[in-house]
Amino acid sequence: MSVAAFVVVLLGAESSGKTTLAQALAVALAARGSRVIRVDEFLREFCDLLERTPRNAEQAGIVAEQTARIEAAASKADVVIADTSALMIAVYSELVFGDTSLYASALAAHSRANLTLLMALDVPWQDDGLQRDGPQVRAPVDALIRASLDGAGIAFTTIDGLGPARLAAALRAVDRARAEDA
């Protein structure tokens, strides 16, 4: 019988440090002896491949692919670090297209995570290409994420600080959640 991995999902507005923290967290947990798989953000891959942002009709496919990648990784590792979940696609679908139809499936998929880490908005905003709407979008996105999680009854831990302090806060949250899960 295979045991599913402990799944940690990082959420946050654009340029809030999700990818940087996901990379550091995966390295730190692997150094402790865990078999770790990091699941990168499929939306970024999509934008890079097609050299554009998705259209509304493509959002559901991106939700499904992000979820499938997390589930596949969970069958092969002790810990999965997901650099976002389908919930972020649902949030942006609402913000950009006014479409709230993805929330039900995104929240159902996200609820299977063991720990949700929400990035605070204390990291300086940086433009990194096609996915960036600008710093003015961060607060509204953060509000939608928080409202979605709260509305679904999904607990989350807000992670703030820069560099090593942010990683230390995330590791404390992971250690606490894994101890409670055991």
Does residue 152 form part of some domain?
A: yes
The residues near 89 (Cβ < 8 Å, ≥ 6 apart) are: 43, 59, 62, 63, 66, 102, 106
126 in any annotated domain: yes
pLDDT at site 131:
54
CATH code of 88's domain = 3.40.50.300
Q: Which residues of the chain have pLDDT under 50?
A: 1-2
Domain annotation covers residue 98:
yes
Q: What is the pLDDT of residue 132?
A: 56
Q: What length does the chain have?
A: 182
- State the pLDDT at residue 4: 83
What token pair was written down for 177?
A: 């959640």
Q: Count of domains in the chain? A: 1
What gap in Å lies between CA 5 and CA 27, rounded to an integer? 16
Range of the domain at 112: 6-181
Q: List the strands of the sheet with 115-119, edge to edge.
A: 36-39, 79-82, 6-11, 115-119, 157-159
pTM: 0.93
User: CA Rg, the chain, in Å?
Assistant: 15
